[in-house]
Amino acid sequence: MTKTILLIGTLDTKGAEYAYVRDLIVGRGHRTILLDAGVVGDPSFVPDISAAQVAEAGNSSLDALRMKADRGAALDVMTRGAANLAARLYAEHRFDGVLAMGGSGGTALGAAAMRVLPVGVPKLLLSTLASGDVQPFVGIKDVTMMYSVVDIAGLNRLSRRILANAVGAICGMVEQTVPVIADKPLIAATMFGVTTPCVNTLREQLERGGFEVLVFHATGSGGRSMESLIEAGFIAGVADVTTTEWCDELVGGVLSAGPHRLEAAACAAIPQVVSCGALDMVNFWAMETVPAQFRSRTLYQHSPDVTLMRTTPEECAKLGGIIAAKLNAAKGPTALFLPLRGVSAIDREGQPFHLPEADTVLFEALRSSVRPPVELIELDLHINDPAFAAAMAEKLLALMKKRGD
């Protein structure tokens, strides 16, 4: 079946590359919509959407941008225009996937247009920046970034091969069909490596109960993705086992989900069960990247690239207050589970983060701060004990049943 791919680029500087890509896509039996976001000069061929149209969609005019001759301002306008047009075209069912390519400017522009599209829409960004930190471009959407190796500046033996690979990738994405299965209500769950046994057991029980479970890795982007899907109305219930991202937000680790974590489910009034998974740790990258002020703290090398730092009793007291405040604002049924024998795989007797006094402070802060109708459930179990996971699953299933899901 013929598909349509939206191509977003700057034809005044990369016309030959986009013509090459367009011809390869057409050669595979698909159509293209070519959006020109170039400002400096005129394209070598006529695009489907002109730079003037893009500038207008960005609340300016091409003439004004050329007269001002400010690259930063022009990029801002054209990025906004490209994003607005991408959203509009997709709402009109005009394309099936999107491909963009470029250096810093082209990457920022293409990524912005991709991030306004729903999860599941094929998105491929061929970029000179793809071998570094791509979080600013990907955000919480399923943007696939591919490293261009050489700059996207002309056609040569290597760039032709890489551009052809990019075409193959985006065409493969839009050609792919997903087998149709019966839709089930979605439950979101949060997991870390140190809470995996708990979440696996919980997930299996929820699936037996007739639900589909989306597991989010609590790495900052995972928490933000979950909150975004809850806000969008995709999620019927939440098993927020692993609230560790708040440790990084509070202390200054590298995996923070931001200050609004734990708010979406509360505002959406959907059933949620919440626990203290991995509140014993703050995340940093390799050991040598740990900030100097933390070098004397209890550190644990989780992997060559990830270092964990044990939270202190003082930090645990603050975490308890923050989490309780978020849950107290919940408009829907909420239960908070305390695993009194430890909150992670390395927070138990004989393990490096076993610090009972810190856990005690955490639990007491939660006990003293959480308010009805939030239900507080304390279990003399470790978070990874099967019975703890089963209790959380049973409670969520009961809340979902009571609500009629």
In tens, the pLDDT along 251-284 reads 999 999 999 999 999 999 999 999 999 999 999 9
In tens, the pLDDT along 297-325 reads 999 999 999 999 999 999 999 999 999 99
What's the confidence (pLDDT) of residue 176? 95
Which structure tokens are listed for 170?
A: 């985006």
Closest CA to 323 of 278, 380, 381: 278
Which is it for strands 212-217 and 97-102: parallel, antiparallel or unpaired? unpaired
Which structure tokens are listed for 306?
A: 């990830």
Q: pLDDT at residue 146 above 70?
A: yes
Q: Which residues contact 104 (CB under 8 A, 6 or more apart)?
A: 128, 129
Walk me through the domains of the chain, giving residue ranges and CATH numbers: 4-175 (3.40.50.12020), 186-403 (3.40.50.12030)
Q: pLDDT at residue 115 above 70?
A: yes
Core vs surface per residue 210-246: b (16+ CB within 10 A) or e: ebebbbbbbbbbbbbbbbbbbeeeebbbbbbbbbbbb
pTM over the 0.85 mark: yes
Confidence of residue 180 (pLDDT cuts 50, 70, 90): confident
Q: Which residues contact 276 (CB under 8 A, 6 or more apart)?
A: 243, 323, 337, 338, 339, 343, 362, 363, 366, 383
